[in-house]
Structure 1
Amino acid sequence: MINDKVLAIILGGGQGSRLHPLTEERSKPAVPIAGKYRLVDIPISNCINSNIKRMFVLTQFNSASLNRHIKDTYHFSFFSSAFVDVLAAEQTPENKGWFQGTADAVRQSMHHLLRHEFEYVLILSGDQLYQMDYDLMIKAHIKNKAKISIATIPVNAKDATSFGILKADDKNLVTSFVEKPDTSLLPEWNSDVSNEMKAQGRNYLASMGIYIFNKDLLIDLMSNPDTIDFGKEIIPQSIHEHKTLSYQYEGYWTDIGNIDSFFEANIGLTADIPEFDLYNKSKRIYTRARMLPTTKVSGTTLNKTVIAEGCIISAAKIEQSVIGIRSRIGDESTIINTYMMGSDYYQTLDDVNNSKINIIGIGARCFIKNAILDKNCCIGNDVRINGGNHLEDTETKTYAIKDGIVVIKKGAVIPNGFVL
């Protein structure tokens, strides 16, 4: 099989400062999404669904929870060659420092990769939300005898200035590339896209940060220590020297780069027909199998709400919100446009009845709107959090505000009667 010749590398990203404070205690790929998954589950699931079963996840910041999640989740047959391994930045005689960029991360990990037999390397990002059949991209790469393939997606003029934009000829071979072009340059970067994309004004081909490299070329490119990033250096320098294919993708794709995009991606799951389809059997998203009880809801009006397993809910109303695993919401509370990540564990009844112990979850008579509640938050009774553009960006010990979104930090205790 072709995909037996493929190794996948999932880049965990840097410090994740744009997703702070969600990355205060965890790496970007370990950030919980959709109430029960982690971001890293997306590229790993796409690989499994594409019959690619050998994966490395490269990370260097706060990798403990990511290690634990992968160890507890991805178990393959003893008789299979399949694996998902985490490679954290490590000092060796050749490399004394941290990963300096995406290409440097791969370069420093090459000695691990070369212990395996492969012909192609699939390089993926660990902070994107999409469902893609990599098998089709690999077949296109081989059919066109490309040395490099870049997954591209049509974007509009507004978004084009935030991405690497490329142009391709009538054979989908890349002819030119520019990183985050100025608006004044865009008329020169129109590409041939489908009629559906044209109708949406999506006339520019943006790099998705998904690449295929032939093994021999990757080894050669990695021999130059001065190139540290794929998007900024390797790709622009290679397109004129090596046959590079643009593989155009027109499905749902979003880059989880900051709090705003992360929030929108999660709340988007509450739509009647969400663009990211968690219910497609052939595009299943895998995660840790938890033996949790069913969710219990008492006297709550629910509208456009996604609720994970093991929750105990007595709220008055929950609207356009994602409620994560083991969440507890008290009587008469109202939750609107909020992502509640849930809890890592249940408290005992003795703890819940002990007035000296903070109860994990949302208390009674609370109003929460336009917020992200990280894991294990303790929100007291009569708390009012009303996020929106009227709030200025700020950060405290227990919460941060970014673009009007209130982020309650992991394990934070919000006292009774708190108002924001």
Structure 2
Amino acid sequence: MPALNEILAVIMGGGRGSRLYPLTKLRAKPAVPIAGKYRLIDTTLSNCINSGIYRIAVLTQFNSVSLHRHITRTFNFDTFHTGWVQILAAEQTPESADWYQGTADAVRKQLTEIQVTEAKHILVLAGDHLYRMDYKEMAEFHFKNDADITVAVQPVLREDAPRFGLLKREKDGRISDFTEKPKDQEIQKKFISRDDPERPFLGSMGIYLFKTQVLIDLLKGFPAYDDFGSDVIPHAIKTHQVYGCDFDGYWRDIGTIRAFYDTNLELTLSDALFNFYDLKGPIYTHARYLPGSTVEDSRLKDVLLAEGCRIRKAEIIHSVIGLRSRIASGVRIKDSIVMGADSYVTKGTSGIPVGIGENCDLEGVILDKNVRLGKGVVIKPFSRGTDLDTETFVVRDGIVIIPKNTHIPAETRITPEDI
């Protein structure tokens, strides 16, 4: 059976991430902070390392500076190890002056660099999913079936079928058909792949393992195919041996503000379906060597609290408090994500200290890094489905987001009644 060192992992890190705006206003989507101290891409990179796949290429393009900085500071192998994490940035070449047009096009434009590695198999991954997965099991399934392509698949609830691309898998594990977000129940019936009345369907997770030569042939032979999920895989099902490998663990696609918000707040609960404490599968991130957080005369319930914070006489419920957060006395925070700060600088040109000033009342809000709230600021959620853009804040699906480095003056009110 082939060895894991014959696999090159290729992580998609170049998307614009418009559905996560304004969190992606100044950074690439995989660089968006999550769970107080991590970045979205940390999960995928950690899964590779924990699975024994040590050759990793990250394809970047949009707002990539912070992502490059995070990867180069964090994921460095020692001199006695043969592994590496390499950044393949979008570039103009004699063959192409265009940016990446999609996931498949991104890999196509980097085929020369990929072929130099002489890897026999290419594992294509997304950089914006939260999950813990042993890719070794998928690789063994791929090798055992001598598959041209293996797709990681997850069970889909019957009521969720219209939101997913569904795959039809035969008894031998081979995928025979694909349909994109079917709303017709008669069409849905043709794609039942599991003997489970609640979750009878299989959906793609956007994780693909290719034989390298098969990948090259598909990308060069069909230059108009820009995306793996909607172009390459549906075509390959008709011409190649494509198999579906089961994964029934926790998996979240952090593709929208609502998904980002809900997933973060899920992590605050004691019975959260995903946690960062697994001894066999740790999630790695940048080591910052920050002091422990200090909490003075405060009430905290269901709070995920990162390092380096100072909280004074505050009430915090069902919220994430990120690195170096400063929360003054009399503050109330509920159902919110506070990303913290990049440094301990306390004053800015506005005169407002970094962090949350006295007597602020926050609910249903995301505060990006380095936000400064003056005293007495009130922010409340809007009704679900509400979208709004202003100079100082954004509302997506009812969630209020204060963009990175924003200053909000004292006594400002951002509520449905005041806007």
> Does the alignment reach a TM-score above 0.5?
yes
Aligned partners of 2:315, 2:184: CA distance in 1, in Å? 44
**In structure 2, what residue type is equivalent to 1:240?**
K
Asked if residue 58 in structure 1 is aligned to residue 59 in structure 2, the reply is: yes
The correspondence for 1:341, drawn from 339, 342, 347, is 339
**In structure 2, what residue type is equivalent to 1:81?**
T
After TM superposition, the structure 1 = structure 2 runs for residues 192-203 of structure 1, keeping only pairs within 5 Å, are 192-193=194-195, 198=196, 201-203=198-200
- Judge which range, 150-159 or 47-56, deviates more: 150-159
> Number of residues paired by the alignment?
411
The correspondence for 2:397, drawn from 383, 400, 403, is 403
**1:378 Cα offset (Å):** 0.3
**1:158 Cα offset (Å):** 3.2
Q: Which runs of 4+ in 1 moved over 3 A?
A: none
Q: Is the 8 A contact 2:384 2:397 kept in 1?
A: no
1:283-324 residue CA offsets vs partner (Å, 9 max, x unmatched): 100000001011000011111101000000114211110100
Structure 1 residues 390 and 99: CA distance shift in structure 2, 3 A: closer
Structure 1 residues 19 and 236: CA distance shift in structure 2, 3 A: same
Q: Is the 8 A contact 2:152 2:244 kept in 1?
A: yes
Asked if residue 285 in structure 1 is aligned to residue 286 in structure 2, the reply is: no
After TM superposition, the structure 1 = structure 2 runs for residues 114-263 of structure 1, keeping only pairs within 5 Å, are 114-184=115-185, 185-193=187-195, 198=196, 201-224=198-221, 225-263=223-261
Aligned partners of 2:94, 2:162: CA distance in 1, in Å? 40
**1:157 Cα offset (Å):** 2.9
1:332-377 residue CA offsets vs partner (Å, 9 max, x unmatched): 10110111111000025xx49xx96221111111111111110000
Q: Give the corresponding residue for 2:417.
A: none
**In structure 2, what residue type is equivalent to 1:203?**
P
Structure 1 residues 391 and 94: CA distance shift in structure 2, 3 A: closer
Aligned partners of 1:390, 1:156: CA distance in 2, in Å? 23
Q: Is the 8 A contact 2:350 2:407 kept in 1?
A: no
Aligned partners of 1:250, 1:356: CA distance in 2, in Å? 50
% identity of equivalent residues: 45
TM-score, normalised by the number of residues in structure 2? 0.95
**1:23 Cα offset (Å):** 0.4
**1:80 Cα offset (Å):** 2.1
After TM superposition, the structure 1 = structure 2 runs for residues 43-82 of structure 1, keeping only pairs within 5 Å, are 43-82=44-83
Structure 2 gaps of 5+ residues are 415-419
Aligned to 1:87, what secondary structure does the other structure show? strand
The correspondence for 1:372, drawn from 366, 371, 390, is 366
Aligned to 1:154, what secondary structure does the other structure show? strand
Structure 1 gaps of 5+ residues are none
Q: Is the 8 A contact 1:377 1:413 kept in 2?
A: yes
Structure 1 residues 192 and 157: CA distance shift in structure 2, 3 A: closer
Q: Is the 8 A contact 2:154 2:205 kept in 1?
A: yes
Aligned to 2:410, what secondary structure does the other structure show? coil
Aligned to 1:331, what secondary structure does the other structure show? coil
**In structure 1, what residue type is equivalent to 2:189?**
P
**In structure 2, what residue type is equivalent to 1:52?**
I
Q: Give the corresponding residue for 1:101.
A: 102
1:203-238 residue CA offsets vs partner (Å, 9 max, x unmatched): 210000000000111111121312111111110101
Aligned partners of 1:388, 1:183: CA distance in 2, in Å? 33
Q: Give the corresponding residue for 2:263.
A: 265
Q: Is the 8 A contact 1:22 1:374 kept in 2?
A: yes
